[in-house]
Amino acid sequence: MKISKEIKTGIIAIAAVGLLIAGVNFLKGNSFFGGDDVYTVYFPNSGGVAVSGSVIVNGVTVGKVLSIDLTNSKDSTRKVVMTFNIQERNFKIPRGSVIEAGAIDLFNKGLILKMNPDLTGGFFKPGDEFQGIVSIDITSQVKAYADPLVQKVQVALSSIDNMVNSLSAFWDTTATSQLKGSMKELQTAIHKLGNVAGEVEGMLISEKVKFAKIMTNVESITLNLKKSNEEVSSIIGNTKKLTDDLVTADFKTVISNASQTLKNLNAVLDNAQKGNGSLGKLLNDEKLYNELVGTNNDLQNLVTDLTLHPERYIHFSVLGSKTKGLPLTGNEEKKLRKLLDSIPD
């Protein structure tokens, strides 16, 4: 069967239109033969993503962005809506997965699909909606890091500028003259320091001889101490022996005897205070005291009268005559003489 030119032309035209439609769909991000799963995702802004941007999972492109449109939603997180497809067959998105709009690499931006590893919650179905987030791109990160540094640099530059202005204001003709005067004074001070250093050097030279003599005397003293080492050792040994004798002395017995003596004395004093014993009666018996005082007075009167008038108490004969007085026996006369002898002059 012979095909006419018109039929051939029509077939070629239909094939061309089909290829054109398939090419347009492919350029839009659809598979060449169609049949892709399409999903919808909302963002606060586009994040720089454009139509035909890639959908990435673990660095692998699995789909394309089909459209990007604005919404009239009052929700700030749903200002932009995007549709994207999944070109991989039998590819399912687990519920709980996150879609970010941001930089895929340094030059391209797209959608990054972060799969939820937990598959127990089921999977999204084609046509379902996501709530996406916009990731911070590299430029924003660099800007956020650099802005504080730029501000600090600006403040530092401002401070340096103020310091330079202050120095410029100070560094006038007057300041220059003052600086010259200060330099002259500094030169004079250095000259004086040189003179002082020369005097110190001369003093050190003169004192060097004295120092040598002092060291000689010190050496002599040390030699004498070395010669006296045995004597010092003997003195130390004697001191040690004395301390050992003091340590080994029976201080406990001495203290015990002294304590016992004090106890006895306290007992005697207690008995005397209570009126016990001769001492206690002498101290506390007023009648005995008065009698002793009276006896002492009588004895003093007797001694006085005996001294003045012995003839009243002793009779003796001179040439056969008799002296009048109180006659005493021989024994009484001995006692009286003994009493007179005991009386102090």
> Residue 159's pLDDT is what?
81
Check: CB of residue 92 under 8 Å from CB of residue 39: no
Phi, psi dihedrals of residue 273, rounded to the nearest 5°: -65, -35
CA distance 49 to 80: 11
Give the residue with greater pLDDT, 323 vs 19. Answer: 19
Question: In whole angstroms, how large is the CA radius of gyration of the chain?
Answer: 69
How far does Cα 221 stand from its chain's mean position? Answer: 50
Please indicate, yes or no, whether residues 48 and 129 belong to a single structural domain of this protein.
Answer: yes
pTM: 0.37
pLDDT in tens, 101-146: 988 887 889 999 999 999 888 999 998 999 999 987 555 656 666 6
Check: CB of residue 323 under 8 Å from CB of residue 317: yes
Tokens for 53, please give them. 């941007």
Question: Is residue 18 domain-resident?
Answer: no
Please indicate, yes or no, whether residues 93 and 151 belong to a single structural domain of this protein.
Answer: no
Q: Poorest-confidence range of 164-173, 185-194, 255-264?
A: 164-173
Percent of the chain at pLDDT > 90 equals 19
- Its domain, for residue 147, covers 141-168
> Residue 318's pLDDT is what?
46
Please tell me the chain's helix, strand, coil percentages from 3-state DSSP, rounded to the nearest 5. 60, 15, 25
Question: Is residue 237 domain-resident?
Answer: yes
Tokens for 304, please give them. 């006085």
Please indicate, yes or no, whether residues 42 and 127 belong to a single structural domain of this protein.
Answer: yes
What residues does 69 pair with on adjacent strands? Answer: 81
CA distance 288 to 252: 44
Q: Where is 235: in which H helix or E strand?
A: helix 229-248
Residue 185 burial (CB count, 10 A)? 10
Q: Where is 64: in which H helix or E strand?
A: strand 60-70
Q: CA neighbours within 13 Å on the CB side: how many for 317?
A: 4
Question: Is residue 93 domain-resident?
Answer: yes
Please indicate, yes or no, whether residues 289 and 238 belong to a single structural domain of this protein.
Answer: no
pLDDT in tens, 82-96: 999 998 888 899 999
Question: Is residue 196 domain-resident?
Answer: yes
Mean pLDDT of 284-295: 74
Question: Is residue 129 domain-resident?
Answer: yes
Structural domain total, the chain = 5
